[in-house]
Structure 1
Amino acid sequence: MVLSISGVVLLGIIAFLFFRKDGMKLSHAVVCSLFGFFLAGTAAAPSIKAGSESFAGLLGGIQL
């Protein structure tokens, strides 16, 4: 659950920065949000979630 919330916050911040700095239009942000919302309801959602959790585990295991 923590990974999901922090991922949403991170993606929200990135979308906000694109909107403010790179000229991303509000319509682009709406389309991206709707795409993510509808993608979450497809059969691909568990695979995407597993991949993102695996990637987060990989990043968490990096020793600096």
Structure 2
Amino acid sequence: MQLSISAIVILAIVLAVLIRGGHLKWPAALVAVLFGFFLAGTTVAPQIHDGLDGVTSTVSKINP
């Protein structure tokens, strides 16, 4: 659960930076947020979650 909250915070920051930088307009950002919201309710959500878990576990195993 802690990982998913971290991912949400990071994605929210990236979204805010893109909007403030002018690279992403408000209507497109709203569509992106709604797409993510509705995607979370589909049958694909567990596979996406498992993929993100795999990526984060791989990244955490990289030695600095």
What TM-score do you get using the length of structure 2 for normalisation?
0.95
- Sequence identity of aligned pairs in percent? 41
Correspondence 1:40-51 to 2 at 5 A? 40-51=40-51
Count of aligned pairs = 64
After TM superposition, where is structure 1 displaced by more than 4 Å over at least 4 residues in a row? Answer: none
CA displacement at 1:24 relative to structure 2: 1.2
What TM-score do you get using the length of structure 1 for normalisation?
0.95
Question: Structure 2: where are the runs of 5+ without partners?
Answer: none
The answer for the alignment partner of 1:9 in structure 2 is: 9
The answer for the alignment partner of 1:20 in structure 2 is: 20
CA displacement at 1:21 relative to structure 2: 1.1
Question: Structure 1: where are the runs of 5+ without partners?
Answer: none
CA distance in 1, matches of 2:62, 2:31: 34
